[in-house]
Amino acid sequence: MINLTGPVGSGKSAILAELATGVPVVDDIRSEDDLARLALPAGGPVVVASRRPLPSYRAWRPGVEVIPVEAGPWPDEEIGLLVDRLGITHPHLRDGVLRLAGGNVLLASALCRALHAAPGGVPGALDAAADAAAREVCERLGDEAAGIERALLLVAAVGQCDAELLTQLGEDGPVFGRLRACSVVVPGALGLAVAEPFRTVFDQALRWRTPVAYRSARTLAAAHHTRLIPAEHSGAARGDRMAGSLFASLDGPVRRLFSPVTTPVHVRPARADDASDVGRLVRVWAERGGMDVRRSERLLGSVLHAVPEGVYVVCDREDRPVGLSSTAPIRDATVAVLEPLLQQHADAASGGGLFIGLAVYEERQEAARSALFRHLLSSAVGRGRLVTSTPSPEYQALYEHVGVRAHGQLRHDVYGGGSACRVYSQDFAGEGGVPPWLERLRPPAPAPVLPDDAAWLSRRIREALDGLHRPQLLACSPLLPVAGDPAALRELLESGVQHLLKSTVTTEAEAGRILSQYYVERCGGHEFIALRLHLSRATYFRRLNQGLALLATVVLSRCRPVTS
């Protein structure tokens, strides 16, 4: 059996159509039931297309030799030809489709169709096209995505998501299991992640479709990962948590440096037989930065040879190096070789830690880029401190964006080409194990804006009180931005009820008792509580509505109301 695997939209059907008609084919296995019903021919080869490798399904029964063949992403050149045939000629839109599609035929086609449907030159056309493409992918996923479409977009926005974070985002516990079974979702160190290129498209779709929910989800995720950093016992685990928090906190190109790694790349120490690839990647680094290649090779070569144990390569699935990093633990034996890269800022190394001298990856190797930076972050966190000297505007933008300490520019141009090489350092210790700079990066929750409509607000207060003991319901409340997360919203409502209970105004205290017994304590129904408090039906409901109105004023005091 030849098992042709690939995600939805990867072109498996087109490959099968080109096979000789004499070879039996099955297109395609999407679920456990599909595999359970599969009947293989008595003899001869057969090609079976599936979204995941057949042995990963519970219904798979060993006994048949399986030769795996992957329908990988199409090269950019092929996707470019497809986009040209579909009539997208504007350079900005064409480049956007290539970037978002990530080699997936379905995404490329869906994005082009959506762009044709939009009026020409509309700002944000790619965002709207990403939303349309996300909907089309979920439709093609069929039963895999039915009922979890919103959860897929939320997981894409936050990067990696465990079951507890998913509940904070408003999804029920069983949804986590549904997500895990979905073919575009993969497990990671911090939970589930949507595989690229679908993650990028889903992320952009949610940001365009529901911007407040998008920002709230990322705020919750950043707080969740930051809260767990002190509980992690290894530098690698703390680094993973920091990377998760950085991905949820940052915006723009620097955010992509910490994207979840969802494709098969791996980081390993460089070996002797990697020498030619290491040299090639050093030249790529120098040429990309407009630096003198020979000077760069001589200078970096001294570091590479002095600390060979600090040279790591990022490899693709064939173990071919596509990325490179060079680091050195800062100690007496390495200070001399680092001096040309620090010059007048040699005091930056006085606190010890890890020196990062080089980080480079091949073009269009987004997974290698993320794996490289996550590896460097984990290594630096394990050493407690980072020191670097870089001429790269990309890396300088990263360090300055996150607030890493800048020591200044080197006096002498060590790499040639006129590049301004700057020195940075950062301690990773902090109160409770959380660096203060990471807390500062946490995105602010969107400024809560609610309609200045008493009837609307009272209804929302009543709904939130009904779900007071169910975080997944509170997470869906329009009032969530007021507090930030379900636990804080519950605390806000309960404190409001307690405030009424303690009021010296008799009617307010009665309203507080009604709200407390019915919603907080769940003592019984309305009639039972009315009898218990010796109130007539009319007085009871008058006090109940008065209490809801008073709670509404508490909520509005936390908001910027606007006229609806």
CA nearest neighbour of 323 among 372, 284, 286, 356: 372
* More confident position, 230 or 104: 104
pLDDT for the residue numbered 444:
61
pLDDT for the residue numbered 482:
76
The region of weakest confidence among 22-26, 262-266, 313-317, 509-513 is 22-26
Mean pLDDT of the chain: 88
Q: Read off the pLDDT of each residue in 525-540 and give the average, rounded to a whole number.
A: 92
Q: Read off the pLDDT of each residue in 4-30 and give the average, rounded to a whole number.
A: 84
pLDDT band at 537, cuts 50/70/90? very high
pLDDT band at 517, cuts 50/70/90? very high
> Got the DSSP string for 242-306?
HHHHHHHH--SHHHHTT----SS-EEEE--GGGHHHHHHHHHHHHHHTT--HHHHHHHHHHHHHH
* More confident position, 315 or 472: 315
pLDDT band at 449, cuts 50/70/90? low
Share of the chain above pLDDT 70, in %: 93
Helices (H) and strands (E) in the chain, counts: 26, 13
Q: Read off the pLDDT of each residue in 124-149 and give the average, rounded to a whole number.
A: 94
Q: Read off the pLDDT of each residue in 446-472 and give the average, rounded to a whole number.
A: 77
340 upstream amide cis, omega within 30 of 0: no
Tokens standing for 154? 């939320």
> Got the DSSP string for 364-418?
T-HHHHHHHHHHHHHHHHHHTEEEEEE--HHHHHHHHHHTPEEEEE-SS-SSSTT
Place of tokens 């120098």: 286
pLDDT for the residue numbered 564:
39
Half-sphere exposure of 285 (CA within 13 A, CB side): 28
pLDDT at 382 over 80: yes
The region of weakest confidence among 279-293, 295-309, 433-447 is 433-447
CB 67 within 8 A of CB 45: no
Q: Read off the pLDDT of each residue in 329-338 and give the average, rounded to a whole number.
A: 88
How big is the chain by its Cα radius of gyration, in Å? Answer: 28
The region of weakest confidence among 47-51, 108-112, 305-309, 554-558 is 554-558
pLDDT for the residue numbered 430:
58
Q: Read off the pLDDT of each residue in 70-84 and give the average, rounded to a whole number.
A: 93
- Calpha distance 498→528 (Å, rounded): 21
Strands 405-409 and 422-427: antiparallel
pLDDT at 562 over 50: no
Share of the chain above pLDDT 90, in %: 50
pLDDT at 122 over 70: no
Tokens standing for 334? 């390495």
3-class secondary structure for 130-146?
HHHHHHHHHHHHHHHCC
Q: Read off the pLDDT of each residue in 312-329 and give the average, rounded to a whole number.
A: 94
Distance of CA 427 to the CA centre of its chain: 25
Half-sphere exposure of 15 (CA within 13 A, CB side): 23
Place of tokens 């080699």: 103
